[in-house]
Amino acid sequence: MALQTLPTAPAIPLSSPAEQISATPQPVPATLWLCCYLPHLPLEVFKLEDDRPAAVWEDSGGRSLISAVTPAAAAFGIHPGLPTNAALALCADLRLYRRDQPMEHEALETLAETGLGFTPWISLDYPAAVLLEIRASLSLFGGLDALMQRLRTELEDQGHQVLLAAAPMPFPAWLMASSGLERTVENPAALRSGLGDLAIVRLPIERDTVKRLAKAGLHTLRDLWRLPRDGLARRYGLALLRQLDRAAGREKDLPRLFRTPPVFEAHRELAAETESLAYLRPVCAALLEDLAAFLRRHDAATDRLELDLSHFRRPATRLELKLRYASRDPERISMLLNERLERTPLPAAVTALSLRCDSLQPYRAHETDLFAADTPGALDWEALLEQLQQRLGHDALRFLGASADHRPENAWNWNASPIGIAIGKERRPLWLLPKPRPCDPTRYRLLPERERIESGWWDGAPIRRDYRVAVSPEGVRAWMYRELDGNGGWYLHGLFA
């Protein structure tokens, strides 16, 4: 739905988006702030999809006043500041919505998360605007114009109309964008000429001050900058002088950094109830694409996520997916999630899917060998193990681990992950017999390698053994020992691979 820009202050002519203000060569400032101002945010949060007259109202001094209108409503003569009863008198079919500032703030946070794909320094300190510090991102996106065009496209795809302006300081950038002046001023020395045409009423100062200035014939910022500073401060107060300094970039203004909670939540309603995985997989894939975009914006990866499958009048079926290593590859996560879906019985048809992820880890790019041979179709062994775990269950696969114990029977354990396996310096076989077997040492050829193991007093199972490496008549290398206590017999304990 096309919306109309509604003047709430003296009209300011729009300039071309590509307009640049240049001045004499100056050192490049350290920061460049891009302001994305949303003039129709109060209406856009209601997602109006038809062209019927509609307006947003809010309480102001005990009166219900119109604050924003659609073009269809404006055609009836309805404008901001009009009482709602007067607006209904002009258009009986007018749809009225009470302004919802929490929804507006949520929409700004969503747009700020989009902006995280362009820069990590974002602020929501200014009304109806998202400010991005983009100096360090210009080379990555191919320059200022390319970055602005890409950002504008992404915001418009989300149903928002934006006005963009850039300046070395956040306040001048917001001042230009909120005044409908889409302009770029990269040089602080050019701010006064770039903002000179702005109306004084755009400054956040008291209305009485604006009226007094208007009576004195002062209407634009250029009019004020021509006057002596001490005279302005004496007649109209220091607040006016401070706002002028902010507009001219003389006053340092460091806005608060926007921080979003590192939690991803997305919900998709299905057009019809279904138990068919053929219909559920595309929805899961779309949710995972959104998750991947969220992780890229945070430069993170995840190793755990939850998928809830909602049913009508039944508790939701929850699938918890744990990854062997953190990733943000939607194809890999989708493959593992499909494995779980295929093996999860559904008690009823699914009506909606919800994906939640609150386990974020720093992203590490996968390292590949530049000279490694290309083997198409070959599965990475970790990916294969991960797929087997999802298919058979986490308890179906176990790995050998090492324990801090000298006794061979206690020197290993079952581990859920192959990571962390430590192999001792001693030369021991990887295959031990379930139980040492008595043997005749004369049938074996004993080799020089030997090891005495004496330990176990702390748990009541001490041993004293002399281990030897031997070769059997069949040529198999064996690990055998002689008991130093008890009967002093020989036992075969393991075989070398």
pTM exceeds 0.75 for this model? no
Mean pLDDT for the chain overall: 84
Mean pLDDT within 468-487: 88
Under a CB-based contact definition with an 8 Å cutoff, are residues 418 and 382 in contact? no
Least confident of 290-294, 418-422, 439-443: 418-422
Position with higher pLDDT, 386 vs 296: 296
pLDDT at 124: 93
Task: Return all residues near 370 (Cβ < 8 A) that are at least 6 apart.
Answer: none
Q: Which amino acid is at 126?
A: Y
pLDDT at 12: 39
In terms of C-beta density within 10 A (0-12 exposed, 13-18 middle, 19 or more buried), how is residue 200 classed?
A: buried
Residue 189 corresponds to which tokens in the numbers above?
């020395």
3-state secondary structure the chain: CCCCCCCCCCCCCCCCCCCECCCCCCCCCCCCEEEEECCCHHHHCCCCCCCCCEEEEEEECCEEEEEEECHHHHCCCCCCCCEHHHHHHHCCCCEEEECCHHHHHHHHHHHHHHHCCCCCCEECCCCCEEEEECHHHCCCCCCHHHHHHHHHHHHHHCCCCCEEEEECCHHHHHHHHHCCCCCECCCHHHHHHHHCCCEHHHCCCCHHHHHHHHHCCCCEHHHHHCCCHHHHHHHHCHHHHHHHHHHCCCCCCCCCCCCCCCCEEEEEEEEEEECCHHHHHHHHHHHHHHHHHHHHHCCEEEEEEEEEEEECCEEEEEEEEEEEEEECCHHHHHHHHHHHHHCCCCCCCEEEEEEEECCEEECCCCCCCCCCCCCCCCCCHHHHHHHHHHHHCCCCCCEEEECCCCCHHHCEEEECCCCCCCCCCCCCCCEEEEEEEECCHHHCEEEEEEEEEEECHHHCCCEEEEEEEEECCCCCEEEEEEECCCCCCEEEEEECC
Residue 4 to residue 54: CA distance in whole angstroms = 12
List, for residues 203-256, the tens digit of each pLDDT value.
988 889 999 999 999 999 999 989 998 888 899 889 899 999 999 988 877 888
Residue 317 to residue 309: CA distance in whole angstroms = 5
Percent of the chain scoring above 90 in pLDDT: 35
Under a CB-based contact definition with an 8 Å cutoff, are residues 280 and 341 in contact? yes
Residue 330 CA, distance from chain mean position: 14
What is the Cα gyration radius of the chain? 36
Percent of the chain scoring above 70 in pLDDT: 87
Going by C-alpha positions, the residue among 450, 442, 447, 452 that lies closest to residue 483 is: 452
List, for residues 304-355, the tens digit of each pLDDT value.
999 999 998 889 999 988 887 788 889 889 988 888 888 888 899 999 999 9
Instruction: Give yes or no for residue 176 having a pLDDT over 80.
Output: yes
List, for residues 41-70, the tens digit of each pLDDT value.
999 988 887 788 999 999 887 889 999 999
Instruction: Give yes or no for residue 126 having a pLDDT over 90.
Output: yes
Under a CB-based contact definition with an 8 Å cutoff, are residues 69 and 82 in contact? no
- Side-chain-side CA neighbours of residue 357 (13 Å): 28
- Could you identify the residue written with the tokens 């061979």? 408
Task: Return all residues near 410 (Cβ < 8 A) that are at least 6 apart.
Answer: 403
Residue 66 CA, distance from chain mean position: 36
Instruction: Give yes or no for residue 394 having a pLDDT over 80.
Output: no
Per the document, the length of the chain is 497
pLDDT at 288: 93
- Could you identify the residue written with the tokens 């928002």? 160
Instruction: Give yes or no for residue 284 having a pLDDT over 80.
Output: yes
Instruction: Give yes or no for residue 4 having a pLDDT over 70.
Output: no
Q: Is 357 left (phi over 0), alpha (psi -120 to 50) or beta?
A: beta
Residue 468 CA, distance from chain mean position: 59
Residue 208 to residue 228: CA distance in whole angstroms = 21
pLDDT at 11: 40
In terms of C-beta density within 10 A (0-12 exposed, 13-18 middle, 19 or more buried), how is residue 291 classed?
A: buried
Residue 192 CA, distance from chain mean position: 38
Going by C-alpha positions, the residue among 316, 388, 390 that lies closest to residue 353 is: 316
pLDDT at 355: 93
List, for residues 89-114, the tens digit of each pLDDT value.
999 989 999 998 888 988 998 899 88
Residue 2 corresponds to which tokens in the numbers above?
């096309």
What is the C-alpha end-to-end distance of the chain, expressed in Å?
A: 74
Q: Are strands 129-133 and 122-123 parallel, antiparallel or unpaired?
A: antiparallel
Residue 497 to residue 495: CA distance in whole angstroms = 6
Instruction: Give phi and psi for 78, each to the nearest 5.
Output: -85, 135
Residue 300 corresponds to which tokens in the numbers above?
């993170």
Instruction: Give yes or no for residue 448 having a pLDDT over 90.
Output: no
